[in-house]
Amino acid sequence: MSSGRQRILDTAYELFSRHGTRAVGVDRIVDEAGTAKMTLYRHFPSKDDLVLAFLDERAERWTRGWLIAEVERRAEAPRERLLAIFDVFGEWFAREGFEGCSFINVMLEGVAHEACVAHLANIRDFLMGLARDAGIEDADGFARQWHILMKGSIVAAGEGDLKAAARAREMGALLLIASPGETGLST
């Protein structure tokens, strides 16, 4: 990847993560990246193309590089990994400048809806794999319920609920116990 393209993408990543894709214009990205507008458009023919690249970068950095890696680092067993998601979220929610979920934010802005849905489906696929590994019979249904807990905790944290992750973890533990095929849980 060229250094100009990466500098633009890194700048857009930071600005879009903090302020949303609608609130940040191309001129601001160009100014903060220290590049020419022509360079931006050579690499990203439109702002929508830049938003799509941002979402791909977010999936790589946030979903795979941070969330999944951190969950796998913290727990071995699939059930424990599911709960570890909320431990990781608790630390994320407590960070100064907590920005929420970019996939949800961009989707609610009405931008790149299909791309956001696809990225959120990738997260659900990860959850479905953990549910299958945990022996849960309806892994898809369970993953959808778990994903609702995750997204709800993100929104609650955005509203200022500093215990959103802990509350979601408690609900997750109950969901694990109630899930057919589950043989119990150590918390």
Per-residue pLDDT 10s for the chain (187 aa) are 679 999 999 999 999 999 999 999 999 999 999 999 999 999 999 999 999 999 999 999 999 999 999 999 999 999 999 999 999 999 999 999 899 999 999 998 888 999 999 999 999 999 999 999 999 999 999 999 999 999 999 999 999 999 999 999 999 999 999 998 744 444 4
For residue 130, give its domain range.
52-178
Q: Is 112 exposed, middle or buried (0-12, 13-18, 19+ CB in 10 A)?
A: buried
In a domain, 95, yes or no: yes
- Six token digits for residue 147: 């994903």
Only one residue has tokens 């220290």, namely 34
Q: How many domains does the chain have?
A: 1
Contact 40, 26 (CB under 8 A): yes
In a domain, 136, yes or no: yes
Entry pTM: 0.88
Distance CA 124, CA 167 (A): 20
In a domain, 187, yes or no: no
SS3 115: helix
Tell whether the torsion through CA atoms of 132, 136, 139 and 143 is positive or negative.
negative
Task: Give the CATH number of the domain where residue 138 resides.
Answer: 1.10.357.10
In a domain, 39, yes or no: no
| Polymer length of the chain | 187
Contact 169, 83 (CB under 8 A): yes
In a domain, 152, yes or no: yes
